[in-house]
């Protein structure tokens, strides 16, 4: 072979090598790029492939080095935004106006038994408050599902109308069945339509500081529980105002606060995300989706134990709020005090303790853990009933009990919702919160009438009623401890 032919042969070999190297680079780049894209679509990784300039800066025969650089982690979502702060503010106002007045039912119960419904047994009158609680808790399930589809605005508008209507009808009522329907059924439904959308909305805005935000919202009910007994007790006894106009004045105040809540409470939606589901898809998948969620909740031991423990707690939790006014009226008054005002003062102290109880433990739970503090709040509530309320035969120890019980019971009320949210997907927070409250509806409605029946059966002795409330709280606390251990088996873990 001549030198010329050898040169042509070597040149063709180099061209074939260059072509092979170019196709190798293209295949490698395609594999890295499209492989990365598939992983991102599958949700396994979101890391794109990038290429070093060195792959193309050298000649065709050089070796190209392909690199894949991970992007920096996205910054955490800012939780205390303008929308979230307005939602917390609106939730506070809503619970102040609605649940705060529900906490003041002891004032109504004492007035009913001494005036409009005098002659009726305390257990019969207590059914009005029990119907309030039953409707309020039972409405949580359907309200939560509607919230997941539509958000808070429509529910809260309906709640404002029903709540104010219930108060107006109560102001004109003069028979037991009328109070049962207006101040029991309608009032409880109106409170539920304001309560659940507020808590669920605030839960969607927060993750790290969820318990703190919900604690601020829940403290509104305690502030209302302090204000309404003082306001109503003075207006009821005023000769120119009386019961009817006192309730109408509270309705006027409540409608202003509820309208402000409707305007400020919103649900968080991530950019580009629409949480509303079309009616067509809802009709197609509602039955299977709802069944799957309910079956999932039943199979989740954390949720099941939490619901069981909360049911026992609800059996006894509200008994002091309803009966402490009548109990205080049986004790001797302190020197220099009016016997007529002492019972309402005790109820005010009870609700005042709830202000700190709803706020401070909620803030601390973001550090120590929500389940970690939920168990002692329920346990101490029961212990206080057995150790302080049961032997209290004078006003000073009863006032101490009221302040401490308000704190521990308020802590339970503010922590139960963050615990549900902690073990729930954000898309079904409303449903899960609602289902939990629906589960505890029956124990909540059974508790006060059972306490009233025990009071009647023991001829006015409060011993059986107090034992019933305290033991129910203690039993519920240990089921909550079991739920905590299902979340984390370590006894001292912060969960």
Question: Tens digit of pLDDT for each residue in 26-80?
Answer: 444 343 333 433 333 333 334 333 333 433 344 444 444 444 555 555 566 677 8
Domain edges within the chain: 3-57, 82-269+299-487
pLDDT at 308 over 80: yes
Number of Cβ within 10 Å of residue 224's Cβ equals: 29
> Once rounded to an integer, what is the mean pLDDT over residues 68-96?
79
Average pLDDT for the chain:
79
Rounded to whole angstroms, the Cα distance separating 39 from 16 reads: 34
Q: What's the fold here for domain 82-269+299-487?
A: Growth Hormone; Chain: A; (1.20.1250)
> Once rounded to an integer, what is the mean pLDDT over residues 82-106?
90
pLDDT at 34: 39
Rounded to whole angstroms, the Cα distance separating 441 from 192 reads: 12
Residues sharing a CB contact under 8 Å with residue 239, sequence separation 6 or more, in sequence order: none
Residue 65 region, left (φ>0) first, then alpha (ψ -120 to 50), else beta? beta
User: CB of 420 within 8 A of CB of 433?
Assistant: yes
pLDDT at 14: 54
pLDDT at 420 over 90: no
pLDDT at 384 over 50: yes
Rounded to whole angstroms, the Cα distance separating 178 from 170 reads: 8
Tokens 């005036």 belong to: 115
pLDDT at 200: 87
User: CB of 141 within 8 A of CB of 438?
Assistant: yes
Most confident of 23-27, 69-73, 355-359, 370-374: 370-374
Tokens standing for 468? Answer: 């019933």
pLDDT at 479: 95
Rounded to whole angstroms, the Cα distance separating 233 from 301 reads: 45
User: What is the reported pTM?
Assistant: 0.69
Rounded to whole angstroms, the Cα distance separating 420 from 432 reads: 7
Burial 429-452 (b: 16+ CB within 10 A, else e): bbbbbbbbbbbbbebbbbbbbbbb
Tokens standing for 132? Answer: 């309030």
Burial 56-86 (b: 16+ CB within 10 A, else e): eeeeeeeebebeeeeeeeeeeeebeeeebee
pLDDT at 386 over 90: yes
Number of Cβ within 10 Å of residue 420's Cβ equals: 25
User: CB of 406 within 8 A of CB of 106?
Assistant: no
User: CB of 94 within 8 A of CB of 198?
Assistant: yes
pLDDT at 461 over 70: yes
pLDDT at 452 over 70: yes
Number of Cβ within 10 Å of residue 453's Cβ equals: 18
- Best CA proximity match to 89, nearest among 206, 219, 211: 219
pLDDT at 144 over 70: yes
- Each as own residue / partner, the long-range contacts of residues 230-237 (CB below 8 Å, 24 or more positions apart, any chain) are 230/344, 230/348, 232/104, 232/107, 232/108, 233/107, 233/341, 233/344, 236/107, 236/111, 237/340
- Tallying the residues shown for the chain, one arrives at 495
pLDDT at 489: 86
> Once rounded to an integer, what is the mean pLDDT over residues 463-475?
94
């Amino acid at each position: 072979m001549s030198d010329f032919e050898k040169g042509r042969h070597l040149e063709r070999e180099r061209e074939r090598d260059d072509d092979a190297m170019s196709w190798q680079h293209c295949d490698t780049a395609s594999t890295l790029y499209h492989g990365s894209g598939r992983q991102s679509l599958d949700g396994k990784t979101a890391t794109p492939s990038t290429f070093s300039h060195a792959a193309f800066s050298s000649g065709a025969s050089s070796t190209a080095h392909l690199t894949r650089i991970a992007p920096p982690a996205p910054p955490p979502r800012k939780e205390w935004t303008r929308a979230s702060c307005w939602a917390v503010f609106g939730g506070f106002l809503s619970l102040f106006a609605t649940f705060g007045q529900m906490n003041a039912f002891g004032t109504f119960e004492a007035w009913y038994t001494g005036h409009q419904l005098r002659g009726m047994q305390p257990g019969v009158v207590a059914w009005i408050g029990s119907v309030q609680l039953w409707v309020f808790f039972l409405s949580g399930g359907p309200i939560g599902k509607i919230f997941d589809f539509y958000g808070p605005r429509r529910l809260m508008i309906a709640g404002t109308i029903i709540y104010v209507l219930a108060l107006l009808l109560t102001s004109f009522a003069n028979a037991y069945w009328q109070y049962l329907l207006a101040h029991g059924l309608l009032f409880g439904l109106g409170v539920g339509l304001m309560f659940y959308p507020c808590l669920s909305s605030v839960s969607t805005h927060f993750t790290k500081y969820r318990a703190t935000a919900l604690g601020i919202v829940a403290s509104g009910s305690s502030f209302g529980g302090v204000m309404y007994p003082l306001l109503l007790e003075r207006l009821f006894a005023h000769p120119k105002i009386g019961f009817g106009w006192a309730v109408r004045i509270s309705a006027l105040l409540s409608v202003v606060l509820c309208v402000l809540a409707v305007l400020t409470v919103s649900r968080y939606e991530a950019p580009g995300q629409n949480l509303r589901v079309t009616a067509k898809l809802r009709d197609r998948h509602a039955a299977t989706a709802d069944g799957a969620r309910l079956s999932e909740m039943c199979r989740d031991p954390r949720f099941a134990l939490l619901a069981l423990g909360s049911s026992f707690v609800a059996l006894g939790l509200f008994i002091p709020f309803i009966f402490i006014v009548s109990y205080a009226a049986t004790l001797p008054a302190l020197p220099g005090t009016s016997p007529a005002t002492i019972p309402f003062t005790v109820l005010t102290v009870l609700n005042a303790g709830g202000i700190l109880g709803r706020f401070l433990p909620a803030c601390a739970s973001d550090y120590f853990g929500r389940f970690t503090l939920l168990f002692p709040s329920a346990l101490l509530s029961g212990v206080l009933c057995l150790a302080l309320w049961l032997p209290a035969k004078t006003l000073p120890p009863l006032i101490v009990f009221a302040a401490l019980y308000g704190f521990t019971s308020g802590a339970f009320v503010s922590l139960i919702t963050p615990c549900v949210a902690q073990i729930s997907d954000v898309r079904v927070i409303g449903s899960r919160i609602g289902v939990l409250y629906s589960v505890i509806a029956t124990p909540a409605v059974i508790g006060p009438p059972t306490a009233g029946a025990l009071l009647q059966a023991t001829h006015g002795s409060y011993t059986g009623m107090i034992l019933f409330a305290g033991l129910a709280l203690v039993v519920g606390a240990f089921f909550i401890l079991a739920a905590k251990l299902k979340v984390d088996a370590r006894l001292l873990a912060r969960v």
